[in-house]
Structure 1
Amino acid sequence: MTKPMIGVIGGSGLYEMNGLQDAEWQSVETPWGAPSDQILTGTLDGIAFAFLPRHGRGHVHSPSSVPYRANIDALKRLGVTDVISVSACGSFRHEMAPGDFVIVDQYIDRTFAREKSFFGPGCVAHVSIAHPTCPRLSQACTEAARAAGITVHDSGTYLAMEGPQFSSLAESRLYREVWGCDVIGMTGMPEAKLAREAELCYASVAMITDYDSWHPDHGEVDVTQIIATLTGNADKGRNMLRGLPARLGADRDPCPHGCDRALEFAILTAPEARDPTLVARLDAVAGRVLNSAPD
Structure 2
Amino acid sequence: MSGEERTLVDTTGKFVQVVRDGRKVADLEWLSGRILLSNRRIVLVSEEGKRTIALSQVSSLKNRRDADNAIAPVSGYFSLQVDADVHLVAPSAIDDFEDGLYDALVDGEVVPVKHPAVEGGVVQDTGWEKGRLSVDPDEVGLGVASGQFVEIEVADVGGVDVTERAVKGSKRRVLEVEHTVADGTSVETHVTGSTRHVAVLESLVSKGPSNDVEDLDLTDAERQVLMALYSGVSPFEIPEFVGMDVAEVEEVFDQLVETGVLSEKRVRREVRLKARGRNIASEVIVDQ
Whether TM exceeds 0.5 here: the answer is no
TM-score normalised to structure 1 length = 0.25
TM-score normalised to structure 2 length = 0.25
Higher relative contact order (CA 8 A, sep 6+): 1
Structure number with higher strand proportion: 2
